[in-house]
Structure 1
């Protein structure tokens, strides 16, 4: 549906541009005549232009806000321990997600070296880390409280990059030296009444089904803004997690790239390396793993489409009303032109040209004022409340300079709607009966 509308809009824009170009070449006086007639009633034309401009600016600003929201959510999703690409042992996603410890990757260092030595993808990689996921119970026996947790064993040197949006609100991040120290989410911290420098006990089940326990000191408390994540997650050094679980394997390999746009090319190359080296692995991109991201994108795109539809309808009625009033006021003038020998198609083309001109002026004004307002908003941003499922608000900005489609639609909206709105008035003007038009009062 969107693709069909895109092609229809492009066809209308092409027709409008050809109409203006041909008129300027063959009948340049018609362009001057159009401007004089269009702005004969300055107040009415000014109100119409104001409505067109406000509609275009509203679409431009909201579209830029949506683009920024998509970008921010995408980057937050990627940097909350998902990365751009993830590698698993074959069968992990199909049946290992409920028992991750039975589908571990034993040769992590070998795979890491293969990836980092490949000349095609090595320059695009920002970080590679192994992770092991497990669950258990975390307790503070002195206070008699415990809660369920989802543990992530991660290499401390890469935790800052992969968890770059996790804000440490107490203490500090994981240490490469203090291997027994852990960091906990703010929700777990509140549930246990445990903070920086407190001791807690971890109880887990190893791959063989036995129980292991370990006492750890809380090095820091982090907050990502995602409530479900902060309420259940703890982080600890990868080697410590492997020692606790009595395994040498990892659950997944996470790759963080220099640029998100490189994801497709990198994952294609990784799949080629997997086949070449006969590795028992399967790969997934962040785009396939980020279900919540796609749900939010679909929701916002639906809202944006509804807003565009409402604005388009308003603009069509405003321009149609202006051109229809012009037809009524110039009834005798149209009759005179017809009596002098001008054809119906010529009269119709004049009114369509008026719609095209007012649409072009509205397009220019929409983009100019849209950029100005976006620049003002981006100075300090707009404070926004927390999104559903989040605990922290954020500053919203207008991302207007990285989306060609936003410029296209902000320009196309006034022009396409003006051409559509001019159809009925132009047909009415062309079909006036000359004898009756001269008697019009």
Structure 2
């Protein structure tokens, strides 16, 4: 749907540009005549321009807000233990989600060295890390409480990058810890009533089906802002998790890149290396795994489309009303021009030109005031409540310098709607009967 509207808008913009270009070449005085007629009634034209500008500014600001929201959600999703690229044992996505310990990657160190040996991957990669996922029961026997957890064994040093958006609310992270130290999600901490320097007990099932247990000291409590994650997550040093589960494997290899835009290129290169070395691995990009992200994006895009539609309809009626009033008030003038020998197509083109001119002015004003308001908002941001599924609010900004499509639409909206709104008045003016028009009072 959006692609169809984009094509139609481009066609209308091209037509408007052609009309202006032809007029400038063949009869440039028509441009001056159009300006004089358009602003003959300054108050009405000013109100119309104000409506066009407000509509364009609203679309510009809201579009920039949506772009920033998408960017912030994307980066938070990537940096909450997802990364840009994930590598699994072959068959994991089809069968291993519920049996993660049966689909683990062997020779993690060898695979990591193989990837970093490639110059292109090494240049674009911020870090490569292995993680071991497991689950079990965590308890505080002296308090008589326990809860289910979803644990992940991480390499402490790389966790500073991959978990960069996690907020430590008590204690510290795992970057420099002893083997028996762990960190808890805020929800787990609340359920256990456990915090920094408290001892807990972990009970897990290893890949062979046996039960293992260990006591661990809480090093810190973290909050990612994602409630479901914080309610079950704990982090353990990778070596400790491997010892607890009696394995040397990892569940997945995560690659965090320097720039999200390089994901496809790096993933293609990783697949080439995996294929060339006959490794039984499968490679997935972050957007294949981030289902919640796509749900939020689709929701916002639907809201944005609805707002654009409403604004477009309002602008069309405002401009159409102005041009139709011009036709009615200039009925005798139009009749005189027709009596002097001007063709219907020429009269119609004059009113089309008026619509295009007011649309162009509205486009320039929309972008100008939109930029000023966006810069003012971006000084301190706008406090926003938590998104669905999140526990932390955030500061919203208007991201206007990363997406040229936003500028295109803010300019296209006034011009296209003005062109559409001028069609009916131009046809009415062109089809006036000369004799009846002279009798118009």
Fold agreement, TM-score > 0.5: yes
- 8 Å contact from structure 2 (residues 159, 175) kept in 1: no
2:397 equivalent to 1:397: yes
CA distance in 1, matches of 2:206, 2:4: 55
**Residue 415 (1) aligns with residue 415 (2):** yes
RMSD across aligned positions (CA): 0.6
The residue that corresponds to 2:213 in the other structure is 213
The aligned counterpart of 1:253 is 253
Give the conservation status (yes or no) of the 8 Å contact 1:175–1:181: no
By how many angstroms is 1:249 displaced? 0.4
Partner-residue secondary structure (3-state), 1:127: strand
1:279-318: per-residue Cα shift (whole Å, max 9, x none)? Answer: 0100000010000000000000000000000000000000
Match of 2:113 in 1: 113
Q: Cα distance, 1:8 vs. partner?
A: 1.0
Please give the secondary structure, in 2, of the residue aligned with 1:323.
helix
> What are the superposed Cα offsets for residues 226-245 of structure 1, whole Å, 9 maximum, x if unpaired?
00000000001000000000
Equivalent residue for 2:154? 154
Whether 1:182 aligns to 2:182 is: yes
Q: Under a length normalisation based on structure 2, what TM-score does the superposition of the two structures give?
A: 0.99
- C-alpha distance in 2, partners of 1:388/1:413? 31
DSSP-derived class of the 2:196 partner: coil
Residue in structure 2 matched with residue 325 of structure 1 by the alignment: 325
Note if 1:374 corresponds to 2:394: no
Equivalent residue number for residue 306 of structure 1: 306
- Post-superposition offset of 1:176: 3.9
Alignment partner of 1:163 is 2:173: no
Query: Secondary structure in 1 aligned to 2:119?
Result: coil
Contact kept, 8 Å, 2:60 with 2:370, in 1: the verdict is: yes
Which residue in the other structure is 2:235 paired with?
235
Q: Deviations over 1:137-187 (max 9, x none)?
A: 000011110000000000000111111110000000004441110000000
Residue number in structure 1 paired with 2:22: 22
The residue aligned with 1:99 is 99
2:47 pairs with 1:47: yes
DSSP 3-state at the match of 2:19: helix
How many residue pairs align between the two structures? 441
Report what 1:139 is aligned to: 139
Distance 2:93 2:305 in 1: 35
Contact 1:176 1:237 in 2 (8 A): no
Question: Which residue number corresponds to residue 359 of structure 1?
Answer: 359
Does structure 2 retain, via aligned residues, the 8 Å contact 1:182–1:236? yes
Cα deviation for residue 28 of structure 1 reads 1.1
Assess if the C-alpha contact under 8 Å between 2:170 and 2:221 holds in 1.
yes
How is 1:264-303 mapped onto 2 (pairs within 5 angstroms)?
A: 264-303=264-303
Give 1:120 deviation, angstroms: 1.8
| Structure 1 alignment gaps of length 5 or more | none
Contact 1:359–1:416 (8 Å) recurs in 2: yes
Contact 1:129/1:254 (8 A) holds in 2: yes
Per the alignment, residue 383 of structure 2 pairs with 383
Contact persistence 2:160–2:175 (CA under 8 A): no
Structure 1 consecutive aligned stretches of length 4 or more whose deviation exceeds 4 Å: none
Equivalent in the alignment of 1:78: 78
TM-score normalised per structure 1: 0.99
Q: Distance in 2 between matches of 1:62 and 1:376?
A: 14
The equivalent of 1:315 in structure 2 is 315
- How many angstroms apart in 1 are the aligned matches of 2:76 and 2:269? 25
- Alpha-carbon distance in 2 for matches of 1:392, 1:359: 42
Query: Is the CA contact (8 Å cut-off) linking 2:115 and 2:121 kept in structure 1?
Result: yes
In structure 2, list runs of 5 or more residues that go unmatched. none
Three-state SS of the structure 2 residue aligned to 1:135 is strand
Cα distance 1:119–1:39, how it changes in 2: closer, same or farther (>3 A)?
Answer: same
How far off its partner does 1:205 sit? 0.5
The reply on whether 1:350 has 2:350 as its aligned counterpart is: yes
**What whole-Å deviation, never above 9, does each CA across 1:210-262 have from its counterpart, x for those lacking one?**
11111000000000110000000000100000000000000000000000000
Q: Which one is further off, 13-22 or 65-74?
A: 13-22
User: SS of the residue aligned with 2:142?
Assistant: coil
Q: Secondary structure at the match of 1:182?
A: strand
- For 1:120 and 1:73, the matched residues in 2 are separated by 27
Instruction: Indicate conservation of the 8 Å contact 2:139/2:201, yes or no.
Output: yes
Matched with 1:69 is 69
SS in 1 for 2:106: coil
State the secondary structure of the residue aligned to 2:152: strand
Q: Give the CA deviation at 1:76.
A: 0.4
Kindly state the Cα deviation for residue 3 of structure 1 after the two structures are TM-superposed: 1.4
